[in-house]
Amino acid sequence: MARATDERRSFMHIRALMAQTSEGLIATGPAGEVRVFNETAQQLLGKSRDEVVGKPYHALGEPKLEAAIERIMRPRARRDPQRVRLTREDRTLTATVAPYMCGDDRAAVVTIRDDTALEGYRKQAEAILASTGDGLIVFDPDEVVTYINPAACDFIGVKPKSVLGKRKSLWDLLDMVAEEGFDPAYDGSQVREVRLEKPAHRILDVRTDPVLDESGGYLGFVATLHDVTAEREVSQMKNEFVSTVSHELRTPLTSIKGYIDLILEGEAGEINDIQREFLSIVKENSDRLVELINDMLDISRIESGRIHLKVQPLDLADMAAGAADTFAAVSEQSGHRIVLKIPPDLPRVAGDRDRVGQVLLNFVSNAIKYSPEGGVVTIRAKLEDDMVVMSISDQGIGIEKADQKKLFTKFYRVDSSLTREIGGTGLGLSICKSIIELLGGRVGVRSTPGKGSTFWFSLPVARKDLVRTPALEGAGVGGRVLVVDRNPEVANLVETYLVRQGYEVEKAYSSSEALVKARELKPRVITLDVMLDDGDGFELLQTLKDDPETADIPVLVLSIVCDEGRSCRMGAAGYLEKPIEKSRLLTIVNDLVGSVASPVVLVVDDDRSIVSLLTATLKTKGFSVIAAYDGAEAMAAVRKRKPDAMLLDLQMPVMDGYQVIEAIKTDDELRDIPIVIMTAYQIDRSRTDILGMADTKVDKPFAPEELLNRVEALLASEPKEGV
C-alpha cells in the first residue's frame, strides 16, 4: 500500500514537471498509441488530451510529425533523432522525434519547441547576411552546407537548393569554377586568393574562420568570399602604367646619360670649364631621374611578385667594407667619417648580394645626407640567436616617434626643411623593408630627435648547405661583339663603349638580321635587347640556344624589361638593365669574352687578400679567373664550369683542400684538372696519399710570378681543347 502511494506521488511529481516545461512532450507506446501528451503540447498543437491520449498517433493531425514517428518505430530504423519543422500562420514549431525501448519493442518520444522568436531572429540575420556584398557560406562540422547567401551563389554560380543540406567541401565548390585546384587542408582561420573564370571572371579573397561554442567546441566554419577583382585590376593597371612609363623613359635616358658621359670623357673633343659645369648638372639630374625610375620599378616588381632574388651566403663584413669604400670620396668631401665595428667571427648570412647591397648603400647614403658636416657614421653588426643584425648610426637631426612608425611606408617622407632640400620619392625605405622581409629578415629604426638615428636590418644566418657559386672574371682579350638593338642611338652608344675597350662591333636592328649575323660571324658575345620590332627577343634567344652553330655564344641581355629570371632560365649568360652603366657593361662583356677566349684558373683560398692578388695577376696575363673562398665554393664552381687549372689552399673552413683534391681526382670527368697546392702549414702526414694526387706545390709566402709560371707550365704540358 505504501509503495503504491509512493509511486502515485512520484508520478504526480513527474506530471507536475511535464506540465511546467516549456516544451511539448508526447510519448507513444509500442502499438503507436499516445500515452503522454502534456499541457504545453496541447497549447502548441491545439489539441486536448481527450482527443489524443489513448488513441493512435494519427490523432495528432500533423502529417509530417506522424510520418517521422512511423519511420522511427520501424524495427530496423536508424536510432538517430529526426527533426521536423511544423509551420503555423503565427508560429514556427520544431519537433524532435527519437526512439526508446518499451520492453522489447520500439516506441517514440517527441519534444516540440516553439521557435517562433528564434525563427524571427534567423530571418532577420539572414536578411542582413543576404544584403551584404560579401559571399557567405556556413558549414557544420561535417562540412554540410547549412547556409549560403545570394552573393556567394552569384560568385560561384550555384543555386541554394543545389548545395544546402549537402556535404560540400568549400574547395570542391570553388574547384568547379576555378582555374586551378585547391589544397583542401583546413587548419583554422586563413585567407587565400582564388581566381574564378565561371560564371564570370573574378578574383576572390576567401577567408575561412572556425565557429566555436562557449566551451570551445567546434561547430563548423564560415567562409567569406570577398570580391577583389576591381582592386587587383586597378593594382595591375597601376603596375603596368608605372612599368610602361618607366620603360618608355629608360630608352631615351639611356642615350641622354650615355652620350653626356662620353662628352664629359672627351670623346667628342675638348670642352671648356663652363660646358663641363653645365653638362655635369645635366648628368647629375639624369642620374637622379634614373634612380627615381628604378625606385618605381622596384616597387612595381615587389608588388607584382616579379623581383628576382639570388640567395647565397654573404659576408656582411666584406659588404660593409665595400660600402665604406663606395662612399669614401663622398664622405671625405662632406667631412664625414665612416667607422666599421664588426666582429671578425661574424657568420655569413643568406641573401641576394645585389639587393642586400642596395639596402646597405641606401642606409649609409641617408646617414651621410642627414648628418651634420664632420659627423660620424658607424656601421655595426652582431649575432642575435640565428640572425645577424647590421645597424647604421648617424649623428643627424633624428626622427620624431610619430614619424618613425611611418618611415617604411611607401611615399612617406619626414616633413622638414632638410628633407625638402634633399628631395626624393619616399620609396627607398619601403623598398629596403620589402627586400629584407622577402629574404626572411626585418628592418627598424631607433632615433632621438637632435641626437641621431640608427637604422638596422636583420638577415638569417646562412645554412651550412647553402653555398655561393663564384662568378667568372674574364681578362677581356678583344674580338667581335654583335650588338642587337632596335634603337640605332643605343646600338651606337654600346658600340662606342666596346670599341674604346678594344672590341670589334657588328650591329643588328632586328631579330632576323641578328640571327643571320650570329650564324655568319660567330661573335664571341652577343648583346641583346629583347624589345625588337620584328619579334620577341626572347624567341631569338631561344633560337640561338637551340641552334648548334650559335648555342655556345654567350648572350648578354640588355633591356628595359625586368625579366632577369626568364633570361637566365632561357640560357642568357648575363643580364643588364637600361640605362646602361658603362663600367658594368664592360666588366660583364670582358668576363664573357674571357670565358670563351682565355684559359680559366680557379683560385681557392680563405685569405681574400691572396685571392685578390692572384686574380689581378692572372687577369693581367690574359687568364680568366674564378675566385672561391672555401672548398665548398670551389666544388660549386667546378660543377658549373670546369676550369683549366686550380690554385688551391689546404687549410680552409667548410671543406679543406685535402677534401677538394680527393673529390676532383677521384672523378673521371674532373681528374685531369691540374692542381697547384698553396700552403703555409706543415703537411698532414696522415693524408699524404691524397696530397700525392696534386700536380705541384708552392709554399707561402710566394711571388705571384712564380705561381703564374707553374700554371703556364702545367697548361703547356696538358693543353686543353679550345684553348
Q: Would you identify the CATH topology of the domain 17-117? A: Beta-Lactamase (3.30.450)
What residue spans define the domains of the chain? Answer: 17-117, 132-227, 232-304, 311-460, 472-595, 599-717
Write out the H or E segment, with its range, that includes residue 536: strand 535-536
For residues 589 and 585, give the distance between their C-alpha atoms in angstroms, rounded to a whole number. 6
More confident residue, 723 or 675: 675
Cis bond leading into 56, ω under 30°?
no
Tens of pLDDT, residue by residue over 651-685, are: 888 898 889 998 998 888 898 898 888 887 666 66
Q: Residue 426, Cα to own-chain centre: how many angstroms? A: 23
Q: Which set of grid coordinates corresponds to residue 529?
A: 635587347
Q: Which helix (H) or strand (E) holds 155?
A: helix 150-156
Q: Tell me, what's the pLDDT at 722?
A: 36
| Omega within 30 of 0 (cis) for the link into 99 | no
**In the beta sheet, which residues pair with residue 351?**
312
Q: How far apart are CA 716 and CA 473, in angstroms?
A: 22
Which pLDDT belongs to residue 595?
73
The pLDDT of residue 345 = 87
Task: Quote the CA–CA distance of 129 and 209 in Å, as a whole number.
Answer: 16
Residue 207: pLDDT band (50, 70, 90) is confident
- For the ranges 295-304, 514-523, 697-706, the maximum mean pLDDT occurs at 514-523
| Highest-confidence segment of 14-18, 334-338, 485-489 | 485-489
Domain 232-304 sits in CATH 1.10.287.130: yes
Lookup result for grid cell 525563427: 119
Q: What is the pLDDT of residue 183?
A: 46
Residue 393 CB neighbours (<10 A): 22
Helix (H) or strand (E) run with residue 170 in it: helix 170-175
At CB < 8 A and 24+ separation, what contacts does 446-450 make? Answer: 447/398, 447/399, 447/404, 448/398, 449/397, 449/398, 449/399, 449/400, 450/397, 450/398
The C-alpha atoms of residue 492 and residue 488 are separated, in whole angstroms, by 6
Domain 311-460, CATH: 3.30.565.10
Cβ–Cβ under 8 Å, residues 222 and 149 = no
Which pLDDT score, from 0 to 100, does residue 603 have?
94
Query: Among 66-80, 85-99, 121-135, 341-355, which is the least confidently predicted range?
Result: 121-135
Give the model's pLDDT for residue 567.
Answer: 79
Residue 569, burial from CB neighbour count under 10 angstroms (0-12, 13-18, 19+): exposed
Predicted local distance difference test score (pLDDT) of residue 460: 95
Distances (CA, A) of 183 to 170, 175, 190, 192: 10, 10, 12, 10
Fold that domain 599-717 belongs to in CATH: Rossmann fold (3.40.50)
Higher pLDDT pick, 374 / 166: 166
Q: Which CATH architecture has domain 132-227?
A: 2-Layer Sandwich (3.30)
| Residue with cell string 495528432 | 60
Upstream peptide bond of 643 is cis (omega within 30 degrees of 0): no
Whole-angstrom distance, CA of residue 305 vs CA of residue 299? 10
Residue 561 has pLDDT above 60, yes or no: yes
Assign a CATH topology to domain 472-595: Rossmann fold (3.40.50)
Q: Residue 54: which H helix or E strand, with range?
A: none
**What is the maximum alpha-carbon separation in the chain?**
135
The 10s digit of each residue's pLDDT in 35-86 is 999 989 998 888 898 999 999 998 998 898 999 888 888 887 777 888 888 8
Q: Which amino acid is at 281?
A: I
The number of beta carbons lying within 10 Å of the beta carbon of residue 410 is 14
228 close to 194: Cβ distance less than 8 angstroms: no
Q: What is the rounded CA–CA span in Å between residue 602 and residue 622?
A: 14
* Percentage, residues of the chain above pLDDT 70: 89
CB 645 within 8 A of CB 673: yes
Q: What is the DSSP string of 440-495?
A: T-EEEEEE-TTS-EEEEEEEEBPPTT----PPEE-----EEEEEE-S-HHHHHHHH
Average pLDDT over residues 132-138: 88
Question: Once rounded to an integer, what is the mean pLDDT over residues 462-480?
Answer: 83
132-227 matches 599-717 in fold: no
Residue 343 buriedness (CB in 10 A; 0-12 / 13-18 / 19+): exposed
Most confident of the following: 6-20, 413-427, 452-466, 474-488: 452-466
Q: Rounded mean pLDDT of 688-716?
A: 76
What's the chain's average pLDDT? 83
Question: Strand pairing of 555-559 and 535-536?
Answer: unpaired
Ramachandran angles phi, psi of 345, nearest 5°: -100, 25
Section 164-191 average pLDDT: 62
> Is residue 215 scored above 70 in pLDDT?
yes
pLDDT digits (tens, 9 = 90+) for 143-158: 888 889 999 899 888 8
Distances in Å between the alpha carbon of 68 and those of 82, 97, 165?
7, 7, 18
Strand partners, 227: 204
